[in-house]
Amino acid sequence: MTKVTALFLLSLTYVIAQEDPLSCVDRCNIPYNPSDLCHCNTQCTIYSNCCADYDELCTGLTSSCINRCSENFDRRNECHCDDLCKDKGNCCPDFDDFCPNVYEQLTELANDLYYNDINAATQYDVTYDYQTHIPDHNVIEDVSPDNLFKFFNESLFDIPSYKYMRDIFDNYIRYTGTPEDVTQEELDEVKIFLDEVMESYVMKKAHEYLVEKGLVDPDYYVAFRQDLETIWFEMYTRSSGPIDSSGFEHVFIGEIKNNAVSGFHGWLMFYLEEKAGLVNYHGFTSMKEPDTLGLQFHWDGYNKKISSIFTNRSPEFELAIFTVCFKQFPNQLCKFDMAGFPVSIQTWKQNDKYIGSAYVVA
């Protein structure tokens, strides 16, 4: 074989590999494309749809901004996706595909969800008695003698998503370190709730946004639904002991850990526990538009120095916006404008897979 022939065959092999739809040659960390037969970005390991040579060609590369926008600068990375990389000239090649105007894109989505949250409570459904401001949340003192909820229209629980969420509230043992006993009835209640949420406009729009970012599987009713069930409802340990917690329990219900209230960011749970005489509202630490309240309270023998809740938003809205922020900005602040006001949501990962916490910053 002549040298020319060998070079020709080598070039031909390379071209074929480049055009191979089942290879990651020149495709590592490219944006997700549902028409591809297999994938080569970091999400393919989650959805088990990587090309066969993904590990060989793509593992360990940090040359993509997928799931890295607005990250803190780390000099160990070969390229960067922080807010200053444009000025410094060290952005990753796909920065413009994933990171430009992230704030504006999230703002557009958040406003879409907010103004189309058709099951949100109105000012005629719920009224509040905020009472006394607490300037220092480290001082635990009840300075508000009356309940937070002045009026609550209980016909809200005729709305399916509200009703089905309430059905789940009694499924959990609030003490971390105490193993949960999950029954078939409780699993069915979660299924019914998710079935309802999946039919909402806000969740469908959240999924559409996440698919565009390459952060979730485009299969809405199977893969994405399973993803939601996993991150929110799959049980894990929060105490280095038995299976005792879930993202849903922590965020929307609350837990007791180290003799204090942990989580508890759900306004519907707050109302029900206050009505039952188990929550004692101390006062508010902050109030922000839209529908954001920072507060201190006592829950069935335990204190919560400071918490924050969305007020009046539907279960499907909260699940949708928290899921978006968890997927796009895990373990960091997710910032956007909503209804004309700046909003920040903090999410935390648990066991590198589940939602550990999610809450609006008051």
Q: pLDDT-based confidence at 203, cuts 50/70/90?
A: very high
Mean pLDDT of 310-324: 98
Spatial CA neighbour of 323 closest among 174, 221, 215, 190: 215
Q: Tens digit of pLDDT for each residue in 10-62?
A: 444 433 334 578 888 878 777 777 788 898 876 776 677 889 888 777 765 56
In contact, 251 and 265? CB cutoff 8 Å? yes
Name the residue ranges covered by the structural domains of the chain.
104-360
Mean pLDDT of 117-133: 98
46-50, 176-180, 320-324: range with lowest mean pLDDT = 46-50
Q: Catalytic residue positions?
A: 250, 265, 304
**What is the rounded distance in angstroms from the CA atom of residue 143 to the CA atom of residue 71?**
40
Q: Tens digit of pLDDT for each residue in 59-72?
A: 655 678 877 777 77
pLDDT of residue 2 exceeding 80: no
What does the DSSP assignment read for 93-153? Answer: TTHHHHSTTHHHHHHHHHHHHHHT-TT---TTTEEE----B-S-TTS------S-SEEEE-
Q: Tens digit of pLDDT for each residue in 205-238?
A: 999 999 999 999 999 999 999 999 999 999 999 9
Q: Tens digit of pLDDT for each residue in 150-164?
A: 999 999 999 999 999
Q: pLDDT-based confidence at 98, cuts 50/70/90?
A: confident
Spatial CA neighbour of 77 closest among 89, 87, 63: 63
Q: pLDDT-based confidence at 84, cuts 50/70/90?
A: confident
Q: Is 173 helix (H, G, I), strand (E, B) or coil?
A: coil
What residue has token string 């080598």? 10
Q: Tens digit of pLDDT for each residue in 262-305?
A: 999 999 999 999 999 999 999 999 999 999 999 999 999 999 99
Mean pLDDT of 141-157: 98
Mean pLDDT of 330-359: 96
**What is the rounded distance in angstroms from the CA atom of residue 226 to the CA atom of residue 232?**
10
pTM for the model: 0.77
| Percent of residues, the chain, with pLDDT higher than 70 | 92
Give the chain's mean pLDDT.
Answer: 90
75-84, 106-115, 309-318: range with lowest mean pLDDT = 75-84
In contact, 323 and 206? CB cutoff 8 Å? yes
pLDDT on residue 12: 42
pLDDT of residue 260 exceeding 90: yes
pLDDT of residue 88 exceeding 60: yes
pLDDT of residue 9 exceeding 50: no
